[in-house]
Chain A
């Protein structure tokens, strides 16, 4: 008797916004796991009924909808993806202590680096001279701490690309925009991070998930215009 294994097709939808660093993380995770998914671009000025239904609390992207059930908040989504599709490309370490460390650094990146990038973005495009220099300096300090944590490892995850790597890479696409906009480069101060980011970009999951730099820069210029800044 032949028993045919019937595979239930997984339905995976990602409600996203192309410049969102948080959306980029989820795209990377899905691709690392080799998952097919439908990406739906949200208009954040006119949110879809589906988004409002799936994320009524925060009404934000990204939202992963897996077989009709929503998961929100990028860190939570990535861990969910890692736990459900655990047999391929593990993103979090198997050891509880290493896992706690990975969560710690991802949390640091999302809170401190995001906060600084946001403020930096504000400072860089609204200020000149000394204040701008001070903004850049603060930002470099946060990145240097991360560079120290990376050390001589190829990835934050060690030999393998993992949770912390995919959390930080999306910020690098935005960092690149600020570097062009303000003519500052972190290459001198954080050469290891630059090498690391190039290594990550060689991965298909990363290169296909991050937007084109020119396109992102164009978006940044649009944002400046909307905010009435030269």
Chain B
């Protein structure tokens, strides 16, 4: 029986991108549906009534929500190809820890850089750089956070890389200057087709952010 896989998504969502990467890593065919977040589809509201957010994976009619949960689901169902989480429980706990850290820090801090001004923005910038430095420390000399192989933490973080240019422009700073190893890691990840085919052009994200800032009157 052919698996029916649908992804309710939004092009610039770092969370949606994670699911795209996981699906491609597993070699899965799926239908992608772009949501209009200002006019959410009845399907989205039916499949994610609690949060009404994307991404939502619909596998043979059954919805799975929240990107880390979706990625783990994909990894567990299609376990014979390209494992994303480590086999060892302790390493798995560590991978979940870092993915949780990324989820709690990067999105909010990055968001503040392009939506706030003055001191707020500067504070967010500082904190973001501290977090990225910590992540760079965790990466160390490994090619990927997962070690020799691209894994769960790589999937969780790399999707923010297409937003870096927008953050840097709004905040007038360079991530590469302070975290060269991290940027080298993003380039390494982009050599993978699962990543390069799932992430939009950073210039497109930047233009989108400029538009939104104009719309909301943010300097």
Contact = CB atoms under 8 A, between A and B. Distances in A.
A108 B50 contact: yes
B76 interface: yes
B89 interface: yes
A97 B97 contact: no
Interface stretch (A71-79, A114-122, A126-134): A71-79
A96 B77 contact: yes
Contacts of A83: 89, 92
Interface in A145-196: 145
Contacts of A107: 66, 69
Given A69-B90, A71-B90, A96-B77, A104 B97 contact: no
B50 A79 contact: no
A96 B92 CA distance: 16
Given A96-B73, A99-B76, A72 B97 contact: yes
Interface residues of B, number: 21
B50 A97 contact: no
With a 10 A CB-CB cut-off, give which of A69, A76, A107, A145 has the most chain B CB atoms.
A76
B19 interface: no
A79 B50 CA distance: 23
B72 interface: yes
Interface in A75-128: 75-77, 79-80, 83-84, 96-97, 99-100, 103-104, 107-108
Interface string A18-62: 000000000000000000000000000000000000000100000
Given A97-B62, A99-B73, A107-B66, 15 more contacts: A69-B90, A71-B90, A71-B97, A73-B96, A73-B97, A75-B100, A76-B97, A80-B89, A80-B93, A84-B89, A96-B76, A100-B70, A103-B69, A103-B72, A104-B64
